[in-house]
Structure 1
């Protein structure tokens, strides 16, 4: 197992491969993998991608393994970069998801495993893609909350996932919601909750990514207007580019994994490690 982020070991049962790395003054990432492992065996590589430099480091690592004689390489990407840019909304934009998938496909890997991708587009574009859904994560979240919950779908794109989750978890109603967004500016303009009165039901919003958090704050306010009880948020990939303070002001609990980065936990923020989910 080659874990390129040394703070992230999603499959700790596998023996780690040692390496040294640094970045040249010109900005180029470099890796030197230690010898002493069986290059005839399959090597599984994991990395948390938070920048194009991280992605470049991954490419260097795959090349280094191949030059050491490793023929079979599997890749685990807990968060797939640019997955939200999976369609062209405005002229002049790049189809970013395809840029990343094209590069990975050219590596001719044995397979690429992705945890809770944003949509079906990335798995369709990736050769030999394996998908791990969010069931184990949400199941653990529900267990930690330990109270009756209504599952909330934040928008139409999450409906298919939420009903599949409700079926597997059993005993949870679903509330559908929607939002309006200007595709040119990205600005949110309104939220709708398709329930007349939630009658004090505790609600768990489930989604794949939380970036700035505006979607969930706006939705939480609308749920409160519909007479919700306690509010909880479960997002597989916690980017939290604006921090979590505004979210914890309105949510009774925020749950995420360590797919993107490590967080400082608090009384209202819990990070569930992927290694503990036995994926």
Structure 2
């Protein structure tokens, strides 16, 4: 059926991949073209202009009238620089989020629909209020709703309940579980997924649901490290960890998979990996949706050389430096195909419920292993 006469068609597809998400946007565009067997590009050219005092603007270089527009932005991409008052400045999350709003402003209500894809949800760790502090994530979502955004898509939100801040805008929180598991079992050829030879570990109580899901689909046991913190003081914005206490079965001789939503400095991972090695764990693997490496990768490299960590798996949903991608201890999980299929479905106003639960496809994957 011709798209124009299809009542389920949301309009001609247009993808605005902001500078922070250009590489991922090009891959998504490629997969959609392959899926639809079309030569045309769905990418809408945009220009991010910066003035010498740091102010900026977004300029769209082609018409978006009547299009179903998807704005891609990686708010965690710290690699983008611009000159301000004569020195080079790195873009932070606040500036990236501002560029999303600038793009919506440049569209000027001419699009049929606007969907914002923020793989890393802006201000997701400031999702709830404790005392006299800001509520950044909720305010940002409400701002997008007021600007006319029809749908917001993100991955592995720190707390999905933040969507309760918006009542009229669709909020989809997706997970990369299938792609991580697929890459993990494909690359680790010697891995034995067996209840007696492998265990999934949660690094803290907050990640327990994630660990339980991984362990359930893999058919192995789950363990937990409890972070005992010193609540009498605050260091770098948080209560320092005094000790990691383990709850779970014996890990001696087992391959261990630590799963979490993000790796920041990596200190929790390091502490847990050391504790597991003290308990004679065989290989320690780490899987995270987002890897920031906020304090560099030197310790990851040392732990890899010393045999404490075997591999770190993380997605390309946020910026990963090239030298990390090339490291022996790191494996990138490409999510471009997954996002492309979601965008393709939504453009035709079809359900994406099959992408919300990866249990069946993971079971099929494991049965064919």
On whether the aligned pair clears a TM of 0.5, the verdict is yes
Match of 2:160 among 110, 120, 145: 120
| Cα distance in structure 2, aligned partners of 1:172 and 1:197 | 13
In 2, Cα distance between equivalents of 1:180 and 1:25:
47
Instruction: State the secondary structure of the residue aligned to 1:219.
Output: helix
Q: Retained in 2: the 8 A contact 1:136–1:277?
A: no
Q: 1:124 to 1:11 in 2, by over 3 A?
A: farther
* Contact 1:191/1:219, CA 8 A, preserved across alignment: yes
1:150 deviates by 1.7
Q: CA deviation at 1:182?
A: 4.1
> CA 1:124–1:138 in 2, change beyond 3 Å: closer, same or farther?
farther
Change (3 A) 1:138 1:173: farther
**Greater alpha carbon shift after TM alignment, 265-274 vs 115-124:** 115-124
Displacement of 1:239 = 0.9
1:60 alignment counterpart: 102
Q: Which has the higher helix share?
A: 2
1:134 aligned residue:
176
TM alignment of 1:36-47, pairs within 5 A: 36=63, 39-47=65-73
| Aligned residue pairs, count | 275
- Cα distance between partner residues in 2 of 1:241 and 1:17: 32
- CA separation in 2, counterparts of 1:214 and 1:82? 21
Alignment partner of 1:49 is 2:97:
no
Task: Report the Cα distance in structure 2 between the residues aligned to 1:87 and 1:96, rounded to whole angstroms.
Answer: 8
Query: Alpha-carbon deviation of 1:94?
Result: 1.5
Once the two structures are superposed, the pairs formed by residues 172-191 of structure 1 within 5 Å of their partners are 172-182=220-230, 184-185=234-235, 186=238, 187-191=240-244
Please give the alpha-carbon distance, in whole angstroms, between the structure 1 residues aligned to 2:297 and 2:155.
22
1:257 to partner: Cα distance: 1.0
Q: CA deviation at 1:107?
A: 2.0
Which stretch shows the higher mean deviation, 187-196 or 43-52?
Answer: 187-196
State yes or no: 1:70 paired with 2:111: yes
Contact 2:66–2:112 (CA under 8 A) maintained in structure 1: yes
Q: 1:166, 1:123 → 2: CA distance?
A: 27
**In the alignment, is residue 81 of structure 1 matched against residue 129 of structure 2?**
no
Q: CA offset at residue 101 of structure 1?
A: 2.0
Contact 2:46 2:59 in 1 (8 A): yes
Deviation at 1:174, TM superposition (A): 1.3
Q: With CA pairs under 8 Å and 6+ residues apart, which has the higher RCO, 1 or 2? A: 2
Could you tell me how far 1:276 is from its partner in structure 2? 4.3
Match of 1:260 among 311, 314, 318: 318
Separation of aligned partners in 1, 2:211 and 2:329: 23
CA distance in 1, matches of 2:278, 2:265: 22
Distance 1:182 1:61, change over 3 A: farther
Q: Is the 8 A contact 2:49 2:59 kept in 1?
A: no
Partner of 1:219: 272
Gap regions ≥5 residues in structure 2: 1-14, 33-41, 77-92, 193-197, 343-369
Cα offsets for 1:175-227 (capped at 9, x unmatched)? 12211234633222110111352121111111011111111111111212222
- The structure number with the bigger radius of gyration is 2
Work out whether 1:8 is the aligned partner of 2:24.
Answer: yes
What whole-Å deviation, never above 9, does each CA across 1:226-259 have from its counterpart, x for those lacking one? 2211111111011111122212413110111122
Q: Which runs of 5+ in 1 are unaligned?
A: none
Give the Cα–Cα distance (whole angstroms) in 1 for the partners of residues 219 and 171 of structure 2. 32
